[in-house]
Structure 1
């Protein structure tokens, strides 16, 4: 324990050097004691013994508080505001030295209780309670929240520490005396050396208040979910953090928190994507209340709202949305409606073909973007680590800004290929989106391309089922769909007779539009034409599904008249 405190002190000694650098926006210190917060979550929640009613504070009353700085100290603070939902205290020396004045305090109280930057009808308290859940008050029995402005003595904007939700006796029983301290009340810590009444710092109050509520609902949640929700609270206030850093380094594990600013933005974007695409504010509130954590918590929340989507499927769409951020195609699935994203950097770019073998790696639950332009018809080849769990998508954007998204079907060895016959002057760019969908270890991969005109048609029977993206797509009125039926060594499978194959077209609601194939077919490569005029369809998104011998694959196509 002493070693840990000493190391923290050493880190803090370096922080003034960091302060001289341009640092983007919010720095929350809540996760500084994330490990301890999880450990303490196993303790019972107690009412403080001997409490005789709620202690009401008065203006200019002085109280003692334990605060974290080098590493812990006891300070005196003055009560400068009493509201319906909060007491606001300021460290004496910060008040005396003029870092905070009464106008600042009045602005903080008004924002906490009356109005936010985004909504003039409700303050931070009501906004966060409505969107995340109730405030804890079991320990002191007081529904009011304490907001303490003090000299943090190191770089940080604010914090919520779970120590304050337990009695000092409970803290000492776990860690011994003299290591951690509890003020035994619902307390938010804010840096008095910042511009405390600025919209940035008021937004940080909303951020830290979410942490308090999140502790009440799910005290051992992983940092990436907790911080993502806290960043979302800043969006609700109306002054979110800028979307920077993560877009320049997208190969960043979503589920591994290391407190870099890119982590804040990455987790914020994922929570915002859930909010926009899967049920809005109620879904995020359900996620906060969900006792399962991290990926499992997201999975259960998706089940609770009947989303019929897995975490992997949502993650796949999300990494595409981060690159595209377009809401005018694919029913808005690959973009954001409430925020505007900067351009995401590609890991590599190519403008000469064919592409010789390129080796790369991508972090768990992260993505690499491989950008290509000025092309010729190519076959893209991908080879992943045999132990990996990759998902590889292809984004095609033509000169008319029409977007096509498809996936490369990978075999059991994580290998696959994809033909781009229209990669010519009609195509503005092609992007490979390579995501590593496993929880531990970077995924190694390689990719290359071969020129389509140099490749002879494969006369060997296919080894796997496949369903290709229709071409052209979007289309009007006709398009071609290719698929393959493999050989099989299953006893029930007759090479001579083949298998029953069904290929049907549906509208977006799942209603059958047309049957293209419904017969027995032998192993081989097939293609079939679909013409919309035959069924009098309107412009929109349609589905086509191949079903055969236990294989089921569905893809989207766009009719654009």
Structure 2
């Protein structure tokens, strides 16, 4: 495995290190563990969740109804420390602090006669299936909104979501990406299930704002046999209608991408969903743009969207993918004469890989020059658009990157110091390094590694012309195969001094950078974050 950085990784969880002598008379230390167990409390079927153990004072999450506990005429309403429900109550999957052994009792509530419930299967990011009792909140010609009965979602809030889906999300997203072509039992209507997605969220940081699971499109075990989206209500909030529905638009594109029979590789599928966020809202998603400019990310070291599940992602550097994919697909939409039509062409392509993009670019209606029919040149031009940010032409975003106040946003491209003259780059990755003043570099392209010398203010007339001179050097891997091996390329090797105020040192890259406050993360990425410790 190639080494891209040094530094410590942070794992979520409690690790206890014990040190003791190997002498025969040594006393082995003991650790007090408290037990959290579960009682079905009069259930008719299913099994209580498995008990858990934790050290004193540990804050852990209670179990969901993973054993499918049921009781005739009742629905499962969570846990309580007393069988009669008169003690402290705990939401399934909610946090609890263990200060002693604890037994939690299932709580049962009579099924409402006026509003029958529908039982849904859902899954945690730890890949545990559980049951959710959903109450039908609202229905229109395009969707049916259900809410977890234990979340007490106001019907008027659900109606706002349903109305927004019918009037804005559905026509805008299907108008670009196509219809949902397969509806198992929905009678042509999308199911939206509003619930607290069990993602390990404990009050701050990343959370899953919504997800689409193709399991439910077929007659698989645990399938709901419905075209449906799961939407989070904690910390997600349907009362923040625009933010909430932006996630609906994102996930709807995933559903359409799957149901249309032309699924795309992850970076394209996610890129189209990020484009769907913009198409729905009609304004730039500043959270995606701002992450590009954050200090401490792996973007300056080459990490971007193209190799989605590579080494960077295995070490937790995931938000970089969403930021760069958003910018790349917005650049395509801004540069194409038909704007959003290019997304339609990509979605309709029979190709799943980069050819889906190239095929769309080759459509003369979009106005791209023949040079962009070559993947490496298209990718390199986008990298240079981030570098030069010109107000017109292909080396910028035509001043369309703006914040909430419609002020132009400037991207910060950082150059790197790697402590040596060569650097390992996965397919699609590129790095900028400063060229010593008055120097020309004569590196020869090899395999899939290419170089571009960058004058300070004007893009080069011939991208690949050698020798390479100017202010900075772009070194990138133009391999169009995401599964290709990393390759080494030369970088302009200045020491840490003289690098400029935007320089970063690979040897000082820390753990993955997280934005302040709560921020949405893809279900698969949260699942990786919450995977059990080895």
- Aligning the two structures, in what range does the TM-score lie when normalised by the shorter sequence? 0.5 to 0.7
Q: Residues 325 and 335 of structure 1 are in contact (CA less than 8 Å); yes or no, is this contact kept in structure 2?
A: yes
Q: Which residue is 2:468 aligned to? A: 418
CA distance in 1, matches of 2:380, 2:209: 33
From 120, 131, 154, give the equivalent of 1:101.
Answer: 154
More strand by share: 1
Give the superposition deviation at 1:383.
4.9
Q: Distance in 1 between matches of 2:215 and 2:12?
A: 20
Structure 1 unmatched runs, 5+: 1-10, 15-57, 115-122, 172-179, 350-355, 411-415, 421-429, 451-561
Is the deviation greater in 250-259 or in 312-321?
250-259
Query: What are the ranges of 5 or more consecutive residues in structure 2 without an aligned counterpart?
Result: 1-10, 15-112, 200-206, 402-408, 495-534
Structure index of larger Rg: 1
Query: How far, CA to CA, are the matches of 1:129 and 1:392 in structure 2?
Result: 40
Aligned to 1:366: 429
Cα-to-partner distance string for 1:220-250 (whole Å, 9 max, x where unaligned): 3111111111111111222624324445433
SS at match of 1:365: coil
| Superposed displacement of residue 105, structure 1 | 1.4
Residue 83 (str. 1) matches residue 140 (str. 2): yes
Alpha-carbon contact 1:276-1:337 (below 8 Å) kept: no
- The 3-state SS of whatever aligns with 1:200 is helix
Instruction: Give the aligned partner of residue 285 of structure 1.
Output: 344
Measure how far apart 1:360 and its partner are.
2.2
Match of 1:434 among 461, 475, 479: 475
Quote the offset at 1:149 in angstroms.
0.8
Give TM-score, length-normalised by structure 1.
0.56
Show the 5 A alignment for 1:137-152.
Answer: 137-140=182-185, 142-152=187-197
Which stretch of the first structure deviates more once superposed, 294-303 or 241-250? 241-250
Question: RMSD of the TM alignment (CA)?
Answer: 2.9
Residue in 2 aligned with 1:334? 396
Equivalent residue for 1:445? 489
> Are 2:459 and 1:404 equivalent residues in the alignment?
yes
Give the 3 Å change call, closer, same or farther, for CA 335–191 of structure 1 in structure 2. same
Residue deviations 1:509-555 (CA, integer Å, cap 9, x gap)? xxxxxxxxxxxxxxxxxxxxxxxxxxxxxxxxxxxxxxxxxxxxxxx
The one of the two structures with greater contact order (alpha-carbon pairs below 8 A, sep at least 6) is 2
Partner of 2:330: 272
- Asked whether the equivalents of residues 417 and 493 of structure 2 are also in contact (C-alpha less than 8 Å), the reply is no
Task: Give the 3 Å change call, closer, same or farther, for CA 358–406 of structure 1 in structure 2.
Answer: farther
Whole-Å Cα distance in 2 between the matches of residues 232 and 341 of structure 1?
20
Aligned to 1:390: 449
The question of whether the paired residues in 2 share the 8 Å contact of 1:321 and 1:336 is answered with no
Instruction: Name the residue aligned to 2:211.
Output: 159
Aligned residues: 344
Q: Report the TM-score, using the length of structure 2 for normalisation.
A: 0.59
**Residue 281 (structure 1) shift:** 1.1
Q: Secondary structure at the match of 1:403?
A: coil
Q: What is the alpha-carbon distance in structure 2 between the residues aligned to residue 209 and residue 448 of structure 1? A: 44
Cα separation, 2, equivalents of 1:449 and 1:379: 13
